[in-house]
Amino acid sequence: MSFELGLVYTVVICTAYRAGSIDRDTTDGYSGDGNNSACQAQTQQALEVVNENLSGLVWQAQVEALSEKIHKMKNKPKTGLVQSNHALDGFDQLYEQELPRDSRGVWAEPQLYLLPFCVPQDRLSERFRSIKITETVTVNEQVKHRSFVVNPHPELGLPGSFELEVMTGIYKIADDHIVKHRSVPVILELGSFRSFLISIGHPCTGKYVTMLKEALRRLAATTCISEGFFYSKPRDLYIIETFTFITSLQIAGECDFNGNRYERTQLKLHEFIRENLNSNFRTLIDFEYLRSLRTSIAKPLALHLAYRVFKNSKCEWTTDYAWLADRMALKVYTDRRRAKEQLKPALRELQDTGFIESWEWQPNARIKFIAGSRLIQMHKERVAARDTWLLHQEQPANKELPPPRTEREAAHRATYDPFNPLCAEYSFRGWTAVAEKAKQQGVDEATVKRETVRRGLPTRETVDCQK
């Protein structure tokens, strides 16, 4: 029997069942053969029942609709088809076209890509180490020390290359929410294990499902301690905070402590990360290229190059080897030969794939990188997309905000008054209490007083006079 005739037969029989005029036993002899006389008799009987229960006009409309659906299904592309579990809403949903995700670019919060969070691990011992980087910076003419510490879970260890891909996949889901709903919800649903693994370029096998579950736990259990390293855009300051990338996690199929089984995989991102995403503090990650790299060091190195190469408005970047190795949580070798051997496989892969054109070791253990065609093209896409991270100035916090990327952000800036908290505190407590905060914002007492009066708030002088 042809596919179309089989569909027609199914509809006819189902309609007859609903009318109560055909018993289920009537169709037991159906063999699927279009020449089968019993099949033809049953079909004829079903048609007679349908004709008795439906007017000719309604029947004609149903047949035309069915024919149109069959036509769509026959002309649907056969590539990339996946079976759908939602087949009850109509014949056109028996199969659905798996839409390819934006495999080249993912908008993500950039900072954990450039800090030693998902780190290369060649040996098991490297997974269970604590990481700490420190820097000395000058803020408002004062020398300050800042640090970033990453502590692994004692049983799961640190995130690695696979967790880097999982983190990017999570950012992709968050990006989809921003496109559709203009914000990232508090609770993110990952969908099925199969769909998520496919989105990050891996098959849905038992091995990778286990790896995915462990990666999610690792991202939820690894603790970061930022003292002036992690930037919060809505607050416009570098925070002092202990946080995890994922603050809450539920994995489908597992049970909570009360014995209830989770039906969906859900997670919560830390509020600072989610707020930065909602404030469009994001960068474009070349995910297709990132997951194609086979050398563990090449992945974090490519992310650093994608940001650093163009900060000086040139297609090159020169940096200290020790600083770069420290940021990627690599062992820092004092012997130049060992340092070259450490980075050579990653540099070769980046050069062979067109990400860098060349590199050169210079005196005092410095390395000069020249951008390749792939990196230059990716940078053009980021500039065209008004990548906020490229405009971000590192310590101290940049007070000149980049152009808004959405109408919502523009409206938020138009209503946001950065002096309101300062003026309100000045009105209540006086100048001495806010002098340091005012200095950080670059204003003096006369300016604060003037802004306070302009907002209709009483000053300490006017309060005394009223008394």
Domain ranges of the chain: 3-97, 100-292, 293-385, 420-466
**Stretch 390-408: mean pLDDT:** 53
pLDDT above 90 (res 456): no
Band (399; pLDDT cuts 50, 70, 90): very low
CA distances from 22 to 47, 63, 281, 299, 324 (A): 11, 20, 64, 65, 77
Give the model's pLDDT for residue 313: 62
CATH fold label, 293-385: Arc Repressor Mutant, subunit A (1.10.10)
Dist. CA 224–CA 148, nearest whole Å: 7
**Stretch 400-417: mean pLDDT:** 53
The structure tokens listed for 435 are 């002098």
Band (136; pLDDT cuts 50, 70, 90): confident
Of residues 137 and 250, which shows the higher confidence score? 250
pTM above 0.75, yes or no: no
- Worst-scoring range by mean pLDDT, 46-50, 90-94, 113-117, 381-385? 90-94
Give the model's pLDDT for residue 65: 59
Tell me the one-letter amino acid at 174: A
Give the model's pLDDT for residue 237: 85
pLDDT above 80 (res 444): yes
Residues in contact with 233: Cβ distance below 8 Å, sequence separation at least 6, in sequence order: 275, 276, 279, 281
Instruction: State the number of CA atoms in the 13 A half-sphere of 71 facing the CB.
Output: 6
- Worst-scoring range by mean pLDDT, 75-84, 334-343, 426-435? 75-84
**Stretch 388-412: mean pLDDT:** 54
Give the model's pLDDT for residue 96: 29
Give the model's pLDDT for residue 29: 42
Band (256; pLDDT cuts 50, 70, 90): confident
Please check whether residue 372 is in contact with residue 356, taking contact to mean a CB–CB distance below 8 angstroms: yes
Dist. CA 169–CA 195, nearest whole Å: 11
Q: Which of 196, 194, 172 has its CA nearest to residue 184?
A: 172
**Stretch 193-214: mean pLDDT:** 95
- Worst-scoring range by mean pLDDT, 65-69, 80-84, 360-364? 80-84
Q: What is the pLDDT of residues 75-86, one digit of tens each?
A: 444 333 333 333
Give the model's pLDDT for residue 101: 38
pLDDT above 80 (res 412): no
Band (355; pLDDT cuts 50, 70, 90): very high
Band (69; pLDDT cuts 50, 70, 90): low
pLDDT above 90 (res 177): yes
Give the model's pLDDT for residue 92: 28
Q: What is the pLDDT of residues 147-157, one digit of tens each?
A: 999 999 999 99
Average pLDDT, the chain: 77
pLDDT above 80 (res 465): no
Give the model's pLDDT for residue 431: 85
Of residues 176 and 11, which shows the higher confidence score? 176
Give the model's pLDDT for residue 55: 46
The structure tokens listed for 234 are 């809505």
Compute how many other C-beta atoms are within 10 angstroms of the C-beta atom of residue 49.
20
pLDDT above 90 (res 143): no
pLDDT above 90 (res 3): no
DSSP states of 254-322: -B-TTSPBP-S-EEEE-HHHHHHHHTT--EEEEHHHHHH--STTHHHHHHHHHHHTTTTTSSEEEEEHH
Distance from CA of residue 352 to its chain's centroid? 28
Q: What is the pLDDT of residues 23-63, one digit of tens each?
A: 444 444 444 444 455 555 555 555 554 455 444 445 455 54
Dist. CA 403–CA 406, nearest whole Å: 9
Q: What is the pLDDT of residues 188-198, one digit of tens each?
A: 999 999 999 99
Give the model's pLDDT for residue 290: 92
